[in-house]
Amino acid sequence: MAARADELTRPAVRIEELTRTYGDRAVLDGLSLDIRREEFVALLGRSGSGKSTLLRAIAGLDHTVAGSGQLQKPDRVSVVFQDARLLPWRRILANVVLGATGSDVLERGRAALAEVGLAGRERAWPAELSGGEAQRAALARSLVWEPELLLADEPFGALDALTRTKMHTLLRELCARHRPAVLLVTHDVDEAIVLADRVLVLEDGAIGLDVRIDLPRPRSYRDPQVAEYREQLFAALGVVDDHEGTAQ
């Protein structure tokens, strides 16, 4: 009984004293962080502050980088990159189920495509998709794994504003349904506030600011409370918000 309770309260990700160095420079310097199950965390930080380094460390994609520290993560981890990263020589469905196994893998792939609104495009080639569609397919690919942790590295950075807003809604829906823990790396402060339960600001290789966003959903950029959070985060990022409406 106690073991079961422990299982439930155990965080999805536990990072202790994580250090990653490039040459002489410690990009991550003794960083510690817990991400709870089903928690949506957005990670902000100036360029070069180590956002991607942290994400890649959690994803296990940094074999060649020197470093130390403790890292616990769930078995099922999916990654969504800034580019959709679909293999151009595989049709969409084949891309979505890439690496997945099981007798029902194609069914799962179709279901995931339907969930992101790409039903009927299973046989399309990646080159035939628009940027937004390709990123939807990438989301579908991450869903096929039923991830306990979803790592997203500026997944909407290359999309136009309109498509990005639609993708925000889609991502929220998917998270509400599948309930993974999420770590979203972004440079868009508003995106972070609108989407996340908790926003982190990375500074000098460690967590500089850790804010819980206590707002009902759906959230709007125009909400005055969003503006308060925005100011707080801009201050932490060292940005002076001197013109109204940068968000839009």
Partner 1 sequence: MAETITRREFAAAKVTAAPRRRRSRGLAPGKRIPYARLLGPILLLGAWCLASGTGAMDPRTLPAPWTVVHTGAHLWTARTLPTDILASLRRAGYGFLIGAASGVVLALAAGLSRIGEALIDGTVQVKRAIPSLGLIPLFILWLGIGESFKIVIIAIGVFIPIYINTHSALSGIDSRYVELAEVVRLNRWQFIRQVVIPGSLPGFFVGLRLGVVGSWLSLVVLEQINATSGLGYMMFQAQNYGQTDVIVVGLLIYGVFGFVSDAVVRIIERRVLSWRRALTS
Q: Which residues bind partner 1 (CB under 8 A)?
A: 59-61, 78-79, 81, 83, 85, 87-91, 98-100, 125, 127-128, 141, 145
| Residue 36: both structure tokens together | 């709870």
Strand ranges inside the chain, DSSP E:
13-22, 25-35, 40-45, 66-72, 77-80, 149-153, 181-185, 198-203, 206-212
CB-nearer residue toward partner 1: 141 or 219: 141
Contact 161, 196 (CB under 8 A): no
Q: How far is the CB of 98 from partner 1 (least distance, A)?
A: 5
CB-nearer residue toward partner 1: 60 or 120: 60
SS3 34: strand
CB-nearer residue toward partner 1: 40 or 81: 81
CB-nearer residue toward partner 1: 10 or 123: 123
Nearest CA to 137 out of 115, 105, 158, 157 is that of 115
Nearest CA to 83 out of 129, 22, 25 is that of 129
Q: How far is the CB of 193 from partner 1 (least distance, A)?
A: 28
DSSP assignment letter at 180: -
Nearest CA to 200 out of 232, 171, 173 is that of 232
Q: How far is the CB of 164 from partner 1 (least distance, A)?
A: 21
Q: How far is the CB of 185 from partner 1 (least distance, A)?
A: 15
Cα separation, 55 vs 126, in Å, equals 26
Q: How far is the CB of 77 from partner 1 (least distance, A)?
A: 8
CB-nearer residue toward partner 1: 141 or 230: 141
